[in-house]
Amino acid sequence: MGGASSVLSQSPPSVSNLPIILPSNPYNPTPFRLDRTTRFLRSDTRTAMSVSSLPLSSVRCGGSDGLGEEARGSARVVAPELVERLVSDALVWSSLHGLVVGDRSNQRSGKVPGTGLVHAPFALLPMSFPKVYWRQACELAPIFSELVDRVSLDGTFLQESLSRTKKVDAFTHRLLEIHSKMLEINKKEDIRLGLHRSDYMLDAETKSLFQVELNTISSSFPGLSCLVSELHRNLLNHYGKHVGLDSRKVPGNTAVSRYAEALAKAWSEYNNSSAVVMFVVQNEERNMYDQYWLSEVMKEMHGVTTIRKTLAEIDAEGRVSSDGTLTVNGHTVAVVYFRAGYSPSDYPSESEWRARFLMEQSAAIKCPSISYHLVGTKKIQQELAKPNVLERFIDNKDDIAKLRKCFAGLWSLDNEDVVKSAIEKPELYVLKPQREGGGNNIYGDDVRETLFRLKSEGSEELSAYILMQRIFPTASLAYLVREGVCHRGDAISELGIYGAYLRNKDKVIMNDQCGYLMRTKVSSSNEGGVAAGFAVLDSIYLN
Ligand code: ADP
Ligand code: MG
């Protein structure tokens, strides 16, 4: 999700002056795996492990994917000067190439472009990822996009699946209200644009690629993720021999150009050359450069003009004419692209809800429409994982099998056996409310406590949550750079695959996999958001 970028408040010591051990192939994970319980007992620290806290003996490397392969590569001590040079080169490259976010310590940085820039948090080197799972994830992108489209057309399924959640979750209630009004007026979206990102983690024990969630609104980092891949290729072109890595194994990342292409194609389907694409943005946005990358590519490559408006501004300046045309401050809007509106905090007053409703009623192409937005909720993810539900939406049996294969265990809290199991072994589950944007999930002992509380209250509150099987990726050594400081520690990664889907009535104009986002976080952290301050941007090293 997009969102204000928060950076680490504590700065561990810099890498300079410390002897650094770098494995010849850092993509091989460390040979040990943290015991699950130990990991959960650790606090969800936002501070990465500092270099000085690590043993300064050589680092042994284990299998490349953490899934039981033979150990490859031996440890090699690298002079601290080399790490220093890599970090320094990476920081310069980021500044010169726009791999930047707003600096939280600068008050104007979330509002005024060009003020208070800091490099985006990044991993110094790309993370190892097995080709086979990469292919699997890429192959799933168009299938998920098709699924979203099909489910979005079944208003009754959406309303019924979310009916109990609606009673206890005010935000879901408001979204469903808009959706139900659209059903009442029989609103049809002939042109439908989805810019989704499906996130996955590799579960070490089951050797499975499991979907964490499917984002259908405000899928963030199409701009910056491409730059991180470029940064890594650049570093490996220069230092590859020293670190035993080949830049050609970092796949090219097309996210920004393909997303811009999809938005431009949607704009073109709208067929009004004077219309604009409107980015709906938060009032303060430290991740604005990720968004500006998209606008810039749309302008340069496709000649499409973009404007940026907050929900409050749209309420004040927006009109819908009798033929459905949406104008905002005099601009006809062809496409509404949401980089805000996914969280209750985006709607501090009725004004923002009025704006959302106004746009939904209009003939502008919404990315996402209210239906697409609802399909991306965690409750719908859980409903789709129930037996025989995918069959309602997809005919192709192979596609169904592929989708099901990546579903981790997902349950509603009606399931008493699972609730009992989660109370007994909370470390094996994640408890999720209907929220987006990071920092909302419940882990470890808090799962037990929350379930006890909800059960004892005997309330309907239970339906505000879903339970999910906890995925355990193998931890690997990583160098995470934030605010110009490099931290070394055991880290785990989450791979997001972007997908773009555009159709006009019966014609599917685009349904493609569109690049990737790798995020890496210290393994002791439960959450994974970059903007929320938990993870860094990364790229992948295929093996
Ligand atoms: P959000 O909408 O807040 O991004 P997610 O479902 O993506 O919600 O969860 C946020 C983060 O929590 C993920 O990026 C991931 O790091 C972690 N997480 C979520 N689900 C699981 C899971 N089943 N197992 C392990 N970690 C998870
Ligand atoms: Mg997420």
pLDDT tens sequence across 22-40: 333 322 222 222 222 222 2
Question: Does ligand 1 have an atom closer than 6 angstroms to the CB of 203?
Answer: no
Read off the tokens for 312: 């409050």
Domain assignment present for residue 208? The answer is yes
Cα→Cα distances 278→218, 294, 366, 367, Å = 13, 12, 10, 10
Of all residues in the chain, what percent are helix, strand and coil, respectively (each to 5)? 40, 25, 35
- The residue to mutate among 208, 430, 440, 519, having the most atoms of ligand 1 within 8 angstroms of its beta carbon, is 430
Boundary of a domain, candidates 437, 453, 469: 469
Distance (angstroms) between ligand 2 centre and the Cα of 275 equals: 32
User: Helix 131-152 crosses helix 397-405 at what angle (to 10 degrees)?
Assistant: 110
In this structure, the strands spanning 191-203 and 485-504 are antiparallel
The proportion of the chain whose per-residue pLDDT surpasses 90, expressed as a percent, equals 77
| Beta-bridge mates of residue 21 | 77
| Pair (236, 174) in one structural domain | yes
Question: Does ligand 1 have an atom closer than 6 angstroms to the CB of 433?
Answer: no
Domain assignment present for residue 68? The answer is no
| For residue 4, pLDDT beyond 90 | no
Residue ranges near ligand 2 (ion) with Cβ within 5 Å:
213
Read off the tokens for 3: 């969102």
**Whole-angstrom distance, CA of residue 150 vs CA of residue 274:** 32
| Pair (279, 242) in one structural domain | yes
| Pair (342, 426) in one structural domain | no
Cβ within 8 Å of residue 61, ≥6 positions away: 23, 24, 25, 26, 28, 29, 30, 31, 71, 72, 73, 74, 75, 477
Domain assignment present for residue 377? The answer is yes
| For residue 65, pLDDT beyond 50 | no
DSSP 8-state secondary structure symbol assigned to residue 275: -
Which band of pLDDT confidence, cut at 50, 70 and 90, is reported for residue 524? confident
Distance (angstroms) between ligand 2 centre and the Cα of 527 equals: 9
Question: Does ligand 1 have an atom closer than 6 angstroms to the CB of 318?
Answer: no
pLDDT tens sequence across 270-319: 999 999 999 999 999 999 999 999 999 999 999 999 999 999 999 999 99
| Pair (443, 487) in one structural domain | no
Question: Does ligand 1 have an atom closer than 6 angstroms to the CB of 470?
Answer: yes
Kindly report the protein residue whose alpha carbon is nearest to atom 3 of ligand 1.
438
| Pair (452, 328) in one structural domain | no
Average pLDDT over residues 13-18: 30
Structural domain containing residue 360: 78-407+470-540
Boundary of a domain, candidates 469, 491, 507: 469
Instruction: Tell me whether residue 333 is annotated as binding.
Output: no
Which ligand places an atom closest to the C-alpha of 197?
2
Task: Check which CATH number belongs to the domain holding 451 and give it.
Answer: 3.30.1490.50
| Pair (431, 506) in one structural domain | no
| For residue 53, pLDDT beyond 50 | no
Which band of pLDDT confidence, cut at 50, 70 and 90, is reported for residue 12? very low
Average pLDDT over residues 97-108: 97
| Pair (300, 433) in one structural domain | no
What is the model's pLDDT at position 134? 98
What is the model's pLDDT at position 80? 77
The proportion of the chain whose per-residue pLDDT surpasses 70, expressed as a percent, equals 85
Residue with tokens 């309602």: 392
pLDDT tens sequence across 231-282: 999 999 999 999 989 999 999 999 999 999 999 999 999 999 999 999 999 9
Q: Which residues of 495-529 are buried (b: 16+ CB within 10 A; e: fewer)?
A: bbbbbbbbbbeeeebbbbbbbbbbbbbbbbbbbbb
Query: What number does the ligand 1 atom closest to the CA of 210 have?
Result: 23
Which band of pLDDT confidence, cut at 50, 70 and 90, is reported for residue 461? confident
Question: Does ligand 1 have an atom closer than 6 angstroms to the CB of 3?
Answer: no
Instruction: Tell me whether residue 423 is annotated as binding.
Output: no
Boundary of a domain, candidates 428, 449, 469: 469
pLDDT tens sequence across 181-217: 999 999 999 999 999 999 999 999 999 999 999 999 9
Domain assignment present for residue 30? The answer is no
Domain assignment present for residue 7? The answer is no
Q: How many H helices and E strands in the chain?
A: 17, 23
| For residue 107, pLDDT beyond 70 | yes
| Pair (393, 490) in one structural domain | yes
* DSSP letter for each residue of 415-460: -HHHHHHHHH-GGGEEEEES--SSS--EETHHHHHHHHHHHHHT-G
| Pair (461, 490) in one structural domain | no
Query: What number does the ligand 1 atom closest to the CA of 437 have?
Result: 3
The distance of Cα 398 from the centroid of its chain, to the nearest Å, equals 26
| Pair (434, 489) in one structural domain | no
**Whole-angstrom distance, CA of residue 460 vs CA of residue 100:** 44
Number of domains in the chain: 2
Domain assignment present for residue 35? The answer is no
| Pair (126, 161) in one structural domain | yes
Q: What is the pTM of this model?
A: 0.88
Read off the tokens for 150: 């099909």
Asked if residue 315 lies in contact with residue 351, where contact means CB atoms within 8 angstroms, the answer is: yes
Active site residues: 197, 213, 215, 220, 378, 432, 436-437, 519
| Pair (232, 374) in one structural domain | yes
